[in-house]
Structure 1
């Protein structure tokens, strides 16, 4: 069956090394890819729980790599308690994505998408 594991010691070590090189950068969330249009999976809560220990309100960023409509779709979510279930369960609320890219980055992505 499918399962997900997040290696806390390995992740902590990689983050410590990254912070030595880029001390001003902080963890704001995590990302995943999707090819089937399914942006929230059975594993989303487990991974989100891991990152909620790294930052107060992690953002879940999903990159849709299916290239439907000849573009890369990007969606982002935050986790909020579900008020109907007395905060026992959570729900992922989609938030707006604003992208800022340099001309070189835009050209590079366009070449990858269009071939």
Structure 2
């Protein structure tokens, strides 16, 4: 049974009630047992849990990382990418240190 995200959960619940759904009436939750009672709707064909945008972290079927990957795909990194980026940073730091020491030795030789 689906969990739904909407900007206007109260309006969505009113529309579902108007269509004959039992919403927030203490209807038995057979599948969506973790849905807050005031966001739960039961219909003859199934159940719906209506979440507002601010309630996304409490959803059980959709993970916030899945939403982030859709909303902002260029900023999603998995652990392997982050490790490779940090490894690249370490390599660049080491190269910088080596070049710095070499430049320091070269400049001391030229002064004497």
Shorter-chain TM-score range = under 0.3
Higher relative contact order (CA 8 A, sep 6+): 2
TM (normalized to structure 2)?
A: 0.24
Structure with the higher strand share, 1 or 2: 1
TM (normalized to structure 1)?
A: 0.24
